[in-house]
Amino acid sequence: MVTLNINGRDLQVDADPSTPILWALRDNLNMTGTKFGCGAALCGACTVHLNGEPIRSCITPISAASGQKITTIEAMASDKVGKAVQDAWVRHDVPQCGYCQSGQVMSATALLRTNKTPSDSDIDNAMSGNICRCGTYQRIRAAIKDAAKTLA
């Protein structure tokens, strides 16, 4: 049994310590907002925050998160920066199929926490590990800039 602090709550996970955070979230805790994409930390669909930093939950074992703070997409609606990003996503009609969006939002939120006025280059660098198969990259960049303005 491993105790994980997820979205501000200590939760018990009955899983092997080597189990990736992604599967503990989805299979053990029924938190399905975080998506499985590639399983190799290449696409970003599984992005969550560990102590505020974006990580790929598909390769990070729960043992590495014990005693740390995990934040998932489920917490973003009640988070000032996360809510601003989600609202901008809607205004700019970012989602197409929507599959990558939780990871995209988590990466964009992490960026705006550390950089209040990101340049195109800053956005491209922060989002480079998140793949959108629908190709909405220009809308993603516009939404991040819009969210930054609403937070200023």
pLDDT in tens, the chain (152 residues): 899 999 999 999 999 999 999 999 999 999 999 999 999 999 999 999 999 999 999 999 999 999 999 999 999 999 999 999 999 999 999 998 889 999 999 999 999 999 999 999 999 999 999 999 999 999 999 999 999 999 99
Q: Which residues of 109-135 are buried (b: 16+ CB within 10 A; e: fewer)?
A: bbbbbeeeebeeeebeebbeebbbeee
Q: Are 142 and 92 in contact (CB under 8 A)?
A: yes
Residue listed under structure tokens 């920066």: 81
- Rounded to 5 degrees, φ, ψ at 88 are -65, -35
Which whole-number Å values give the CA distances from 131 to 37, 79, 103, 119, 126, in the listed order? 10, 24, 9, 19, 12
pLDDT at 1: 87
Amino acid identity, position 51: N
Q: Are 46 and 57 in contact (CB under 8 A)?
A: yes
Question: What is the topology classification, in CATH, of domain 2-74?
Answer: Ubiquitin-like (UB roll) (3.10.20)
The residue extents of the domains of the chain are 2-74, 75-151
CATH number of the domain located at residue range(s) 75-151 in this protein: 1.10.150.120
Q: pTM for the whole thing?
A: 0.95
